[in-house]
Amino acid sequence: MGLLAPGDVVGDRLVVQRPLGQGAYAEVYRVWHEVLGRQAMKVFKHLASDAETRKLLGEAQLLSRLGHPNIVRVFDAGMIRTAEGVRGYFTMEYLPGGSLHRLLGEYTNGVVPLDVAVDVIEQMTAGMVAAHQQEPPVLHRDLTLANALIGFDSRGGRRVLLSDFGLSKHADPVTQLASAQGTFAFMAPEVQRLLGYSRASDVWSLGTIAYVLLTHHFPYSDGGRLDSFSLSRFDRPARPPSHFNDTVDPELDRIVLATLELDPRRRIGDAMELADRLRARHAPATPPRRPEPPPRPSECDHGPGHTAAQAEASRALALARRPGGLAEAADALDRAVRRCPCARGRHGHRVELWRRGVMM
């Protein structure tokens, strides 16, 4: 039985509608505010002293102070009477899209389309920029699929918000570190080794989330699942996301792998640097300083060879979708890219992936 039940009235303006979930320290409910409408209410499970309760409510204070479009907003905080006695609580905006777990479930193969995955990680990074820019920095210490929630803006666009800052802590102003906390599957190796938590440790968690969204695999794992929590899994290199998903471009490969460097000194160091790298990926290529030379005879003239190569490439793509047709498709696509520079630029990267049996 939960601390609250549907229909319970909290204060003068809130009515409990239904439970949304619970964790080790708190239960979360959807509630109705007579003026503001739907909200989420977090109620702490355990009875605590006034001092301990104020410490628990520090999450609400932190969220209120950060105030960013990609961090959940807090409306109220205090003490309420529950079935188990007086407990601390705070209310925050209700996000109907659920967590990233639900987003993964929307796709049959568990791989989120490239543009959606990049949009999610860019929004999460923007929220962490607001935290990492604090003096001293605020470290989340528990970035996971469950702690990124999805709402919608006034036009129906996706809005990703960071939540559950319950483990968050200001870094030491001198060392820039905090104690090790978090969820093991998303925890950086230095945190697992109890060497402290830094902004680079939050970046590792963001990179792990990006990897899972793009591949439906965890990095540094054999079968994609963390069946073993042994640190020995870090003895082998992480495969680039494109190994599992051929829509991932080389620059995104480099960015994600840079968030997953085992040595935090070589890793992307904070959310600001990660945001810069993600923005640069969208920037158009620098135009050449001199005019391009006229086409050489070997370049594509969009003549009969071009048409034949495009037809061969289309046939290869159709073959690749047939069970057991990937090897034949790779041969056909190889002929197309050898015949026409246009086909090479568009499809050349797929040939080697198909020969390895990778098809997304």
CATH code of the domain covering residue 242: 1.10.510.10
Calculate the average pLDDT of the chain.
83
Last residue of one domain, picked from the residues 63, 93, 123: 93
Q: How many helices (H) and strands (E) does the chain have?
A: 11, 10
Report the pLDDT value the prediction gives residue 155, as an integer from 0 to 100.
78
**344 lies in some domain:** yes
Q: Assess whether 113 and 230 both reside in one domain.
A: yes
pLDDT for 301 equals 61
Amino acid (one-letter) located at 300: C
Q: How far is residue 345's CA from residue 11's CA, in Å, rounded to a whole number?
A: 64
Q: What H or E segment, with its residue span, contains residue 31?
A: strand 26-33
Q: Tell me the per-residue pLDDT of 252-267, one tens digit each, with 9 for 90 and over.
A: 999 999 999 999 999 9
Statement to judge: residues 155 and 234 lie in one domain: yes
- CB neighbours of residue 84 within 10 Å: 14
Per-residue pLDDT tens over the stretch 157-173: 899 999 877 555 444 44
Tokens matching residue 115: 């543009």
Residue 34, domain member (yes or no): yes
d(CA 352, CA 232): 30
Same domain as 134, residue 260? yes
Q: How confident is the model at residue 181 (pLDDT cuts 50, 70, 90)?
A: low
Q: What pLDDT does 299 receive?
A: 57
Burial 19-49, CB ≥16 within 10 A → b, else e: bbeeeeebbbbbbebeeeeebbbbbbbeebe
- Whether residue 195 lies inside any domain: the answer is yes
CATH number at residue 55: 3.30.200.20
Are 113 and 198 in a shared domain? yes
**How far, in Å, CA of 312 to CA of 28, rounded?**
56
pLDDT of 109: 84
In 153-205, DSSP assigns E strands to 158-162, 169-170
Residue 352 in this model has a pLDDT that exceeds 70 = yes
C-beta of residue 152 within 8 angstroms of C-beta of residue 159: yes
Q: How many residues does the chain have?
A: 360
Residues near 342 by beta carbon (within 8 Å), at least 6 away in sequence: 300, 302, 306, 309, 310
Choose one of 250, 282, 314: the last residue of a domain: 282
Domain-ending residue, one of 224, 247, 282: 282
pLDDT at 228: 55
Q: Smallest Cα–Cα separation from 79: which of 52, 102, 106, 104?
A: 52
> What was the pLDDT predicted at 267?
97
Same domain, 77 and 129: no
| Token pair recorded at residue 142 | 């528990």
- Shared-domain flag, residues 116 and 182: yes
268 with 216, same domain: the answer is: yes
| 79 and 186 both lie in a single domain | no
- Judge whether residue 360 has pLDDT over 60: no
Residue 360 lies inside a defined structural domain of this protein: no
Number of structural domains (the chain) is: 3
Give the ranges where 49-185 is alpha helix by DSSP (H): 50-56, 58-66, 100-105, 114-132
What letter would DSSP give residue 77?
A: E
State whether 278 and 191 are in the same domain: yes
Please check whether residues 132 and 269 belong to one and the same domain: yes
Q: Per the domain annotation, does 170 fall within a domain?
A: yes
Query: Are residues 261 and 126 part of one domain?
Result: yes
- Checking 247-255 for CB contacts under 8 A at 24+ apart, the result is 247/113, 247/114, 247/360, 248/114, 248/214, 249/281, 251/281, 252/114, 252/118, 252/214, 252/281, 255/281
Does position 351 have pLDDT exceeding 60, yes or no?
yes
- What residues contact 34, with CB distance under 8 A and at least 6 apart? 13, 14, 15
d(CA 145, CA 151): 15
- Does 299 map to a domain? no
Same domain for 108 and 189, yes or no, is yes
pLDDT in tens, 117-151: 999 999 999 999 999 998 888 888 889 998 899 99
* Domain region containing 139: 100-282
Give domain status of residue 4, yes or no: no
For the whole prediction, is pTM greater than 0.75?
Answer: no
Q: How many CA atoms lie within 13 A of 279 on its CB side?
A: 8
Q: Has residue 51 been placed in a domain?
A: yes
